[in-house]
Amino acid sequence: MSLGGKRVVVIGGGSGIGFAVAELAREAGADVVIASSRAATVDAAIERLSGSTGRVVDLRDEAGVAAFFQDLGPFDHLAMTAGDWGGEMFAATADIDLTQARDGLTVRFWGALAAAKHSCRTIAQDGSITLTSGMLGHRPMKNAPLVTAVAGAMEHLTRGLAVDLAPVRVNAVCPGLILTEHVKQTMPAAMQQSFVAKLPVPRAGSPEEVAMAYVYLPGAESRSLASPLIKRHFRCLRSSQIPTGIPSRGFDGRVSFPPIWHPAYLRYCRKAKLPPLKRRLGRDERGLAKVGVEGSNPFARSRFSRVLTIA
């Protein structure tokens, strides 16, 4: 992974996953700009990470976000890890405080959209934006319908932005339980264990581990890489996007996927030594013929967006 000569902006880079991303990007040769809503957090982060610079930005204030990117000038890559998954976000449906729920969307969703809106004016055309989703969007749990909805919204925002902002690449990383400073302080050990007990590797991840995905996606190595290779590089990653064929871009800019029996798809499977999905004929509840698919094919790539799920 090389980001030599690139300017990388990490919003939420003052601590946790964001600081780990900033640290790894700096090691990869990038000029790193750490941004956070608190000046003290920014100052502490740039003191810890030599060679980095810092700026204050409040994602709740769109005018401030616009001014931030205008003053920042041209840059190459943006990583968004800012957000608040605080206690008010975890509640049973009957107990949800809708006022607090709306506030919970301000940074995580609307803040990300504001950053995308105003960063697209100054980001490099071969640059990238990496957003953050969450595992609960794929594995819902009791007392977390709001968190599940926000995580899902972030992934769909990623897909929409990816098409709209092309050729700028837009990706999302979907972390599971990551042992940030905040998690260690607020989540009891027993609760941490309950989150990971059923995983193939029953442990929480570290910020340094998940940061690899954020730094890998902006790099040139990821532009033409399919998810099987991503799996080999990041064994705890799986893709949540499973199209049925090789993606292509039409004249209208839309991404389309050929059917699973398309010759190009079969050639890809042979080249990548992957078992192709099989067609399955059957009938639906009305007795009408239908075609389904069976099998497991790890191919899951879009030229414009990729959503990585960290188990």
- The average pLDDT across 34-54 equals 96
Assess whether the previous peptide bond of 175 is cis (omega < 30° from 0).
no
CA distances from 29 to 3, 26, 199 (A): 5, 5, 34
Facing residues of 78 across strands?
9, 129
Please determine, for residue 124, whether its predicted confidence score (pLDDT) is greater than 90.
Answer: yes
Question: Which residue in this structure is represented by tokens 């998954």?
Answer: 85
Indicate whether 299 belongs to any domain: no
What is the CATH classification number for the domain harbouring 137?
Answer: 3.40.50.720
Indicate whether 308 belongs to any domain: no
Tell me: do 59 and 161 sit in the same domain.
yes
pLDDT for 82 equals: 92
Please determine, for residue 90, whether its predicted confidence score (pLDDT) is greater than 60.
Answer: yes
What span, in angstroms and rounded, lies between the C-alpha atoms of 278 and 295?
6
pLDDT for 55 equals: 97
Tell me: do 20 and 128 sit in the same domain.
yes
Band of residue 220 on the pLDDT scale cut at 50, 70, 90? low
Q: Containing domain of residue 14, as a range? A: 7-223
Please determine, for residue 251, whether its predicted confidence score (pLDDT) is greater than 50.
Answer: no
Indicate whether 302 belongs to any domain: no
Tell me: do 216 and 83 sit in the same domain.
yes
pLDDT for 198 equals: 79
pLDDT per residue over 67-79, tens digit each? Answer: 999 999 999 999 9
Tell me: do 45 and 166 sit in the same domain.
yes
Band of residue 277 on the pLDDT scale cut at 50, 70, 90? low
Secondary structure class of 300 (helix, strand, coil): coil
pLDDT for 15 equals: 94
How many residues comprise the chain?
311
Q: How many domains does the chain have?
A: 2
Please determine, for residue 46, whether its predicted confidence score (pLDDT) is greater than 90.
Answer: yes
Please determine, for residue 245, whether its predicted confidence score (pLDDT) is greater than 50.
Answer: no
